[in-house]
Structure 1
Amino acid sequence: MKPMFKKVTIVGMGMMGGSLGMALLKNRIAKEVCGAGRNIAKLNQAKKLYAATTVTDNLEEAVKGADLIVISVVADKIAYMYKKLLEAGLCEDTIVTDMGSVKKEITDDICGLKGYKDNFIGSHPMVGSEKKGVKNSIFNLFNAGNCIVTGPKESKYVKKVARLWKAVGMNTVFMTPQQHDDAVAGISHMPHLAAFALLHSQKDCIKNSKDIIGTGFKSMTRIGASGEDVWAGILYANKEQVIKQAQRYRKEIERAEKMLKAGKVMPYIKAARLLRESLDK
C-alpha cells in the first residue's frame, strides 16, 4: 500500500515524538520520518530505535520536501518553533500540526505571526506517559486513544491531519481551540494539578513511612511524576481555565467533607462509582 506521506518531519524526538515516528514507520504511513532537534546524540538514538529514518539538527533540512511537520515540543515553545520553521523556509503546501495540550493561545500566537502560511492545524492526542525521552517511546501508544483536532471539518488540511491520527489507531474529535481548552482543563490539566497537590499534602508520610503506601495512592498520583518542564508550561498556558477547575474541585472537596460529617458519604461514593463505571461503557 502506498504511504500516506512521502516525508513526515517530527520536531522534538522525545517520548511522544518517538512514539509517533515508530507508529508511522511500523504501519507504513510515511515513507520517510525525519527526526529534528538540537541534540544529535538523542536524535541518533531515535534512529536506532526506528523512530526515524533520518535525523538532523538543521531546520532547513528538516522542512525541505516535508509534506507534514509535527511539532512535538513543550506547549509554551510550539508557536516559537513554528516561527523557526518559517525562517527555515517552510512551504505553504506543507501541513503543520502539533501534539500540545493547549490550543487557543498556541493557535492565536501562530496565526498572528508575520508570514503565517495558513497551514497550521492543532492536534492533541489524549495519550501519554509520565516517562520522558525517546528511549521510552511506545510504538502502539496511540492505539484506541482519542485525538482532538482543532479546525473546520471541511478543511482539506484538517481532513489530512485527521487521517494521520486515524491511521495510527486513534479516534478523532473535532473542536475549536477554545472548546478544547475548556474541556481539557477539567479532564487533563486539573487532574495533574490535583496529583501534585496530593503528593505535597502527604510529603511527611512519603519521606518517613513510604513502605506502607499502597497501590491506590500510587495509582492516583502516577501522573504526579510528570516532568515540570512540560507541565508548568501547560498550566500557565491554560491558567484561567485551570483556576476555574481548581475552584470547582475545591468546592467539591468541601461538599465531600460535609457529606462525611453528616454521615451521608455512602450515596456520595455510590454516585461517584457510577460515574466512573460509565467511562468504560
Structure 2
Amino acid sequence: MSTPFKRLDLNLLKVLKVLIDVQNTRKTSELLFTSQPSISRSLQKLRVHFDDELFIRSQHGLEPTEKLLELKQTLMPIFQQLEFALEPSETFDPMKLEGTINVAINGFIANSVSAQLTHILFTRAPQVKVNIVDWGSQTYEHLTSGEIDIGINYYPLNLSKQVYQKKVATDGFILLCRKGHPLANKSLEKYQGETLALASLMVADWNDTVAFAPQALATRGIQSEIKVRSTYLHSLLTIVKESNVLFPCSQLLASSLSDEFALVEFPSLQNMPNGDIGLSISRKHRNQPKIRWLESCIEEVFKQ
C-alpha cells in the first residue's frame, strides 16, 4: 500500500483539497491560478496514486467516491495542519478564506444563533460557504478528525480530552405549550393534577441517555412522563401546537419562536442542567488561525 505523504507531491494534495471544496475542475483552476487541463492531469495522478476514481462526474459536478470521503476525513485535516504550520499566523485574512466552514449546533441553540453567525461569517469571509448541522452521534468523531470545525452545545459535555471545551454563554430552561393549553401562563408551584405529558428533544452527548425534566419535576412532587422523543425540533414544535404535550426547552429557543406558543411557569428545580453553553474544538486543530477566528466570531454572537 502506498504512503501518501512519503511518495505523493504535496502540491497534488493542495489540488485535491480545493477539488473537495468546490467539486469543479474549472473553479479549481481559477482558485489555483492554473489551467483546467493542468488540474485534470493532477486529478489523474491522484487517481493513479490512490487507485480510485475519487470523483465521479454527475449533472451537479464532481461527486466524491467512498474512498475520497475517507481521505477527506483522515488525510485532509493533516494536510491543513501542515499548511497552517508553514504559513505564519499573522498572514491569515478571512477576506481571502475559501472553502466550507462546518459548524455543529445543538438544536435548542441553533434557532437563535444560526442566522446571526452566518451573517457575520459572510460579512467577514465573503468567499466561504457555511454548513450548519445538528449535533449528532458522529459529531465527536467529526470534531476530532477536523471534518467539523467547531461545535456549540451545552457545557460541559462528557467528551474526551481530545476535545477542548470553553463556556461562552448561559441559557435557561422553561416549559413551552400551545396557546389555549389549560396550563398556559399558569404556575406549577402547587400543581397536583394528572401526570404531565412531555416532549423531549434528543441531543447526542447531552440528553440521549437521560431525560432531565421528569426527574427534576419529581423533586417537587409533580408527576410527568416523556410521551414523545425526537431529534427533529420542528416536528416536536408541531406536536406541541396541536396537543396538550408540554415541551421543556431552552429560553433561547423560546425567545425565537412565534406567538403561537405560551409558557408554563414552574418553580426552581433540582437536577436540571445549569444551561451553560460552550464551544467544542478539537485540541489538535484549535490553534489554527481559521479556528481561532471562527471561535471569536461565535463568541461575538453570544455577547450580542
Q: Per the shorter chain, which TM-score range?
A: under 0.3
When the two structures are superposed, what TM-score results if normalisation uses the length of structure 2? 0.26
Structure with greater strand share of residues = 2
Higher relative contact order, chain-length normalized (CA < 8 Å, sep 6+): 2
TM-score where L is the length of structure 1: 0.28
Which of the two has higher C-alpha Rg? Answer: 2
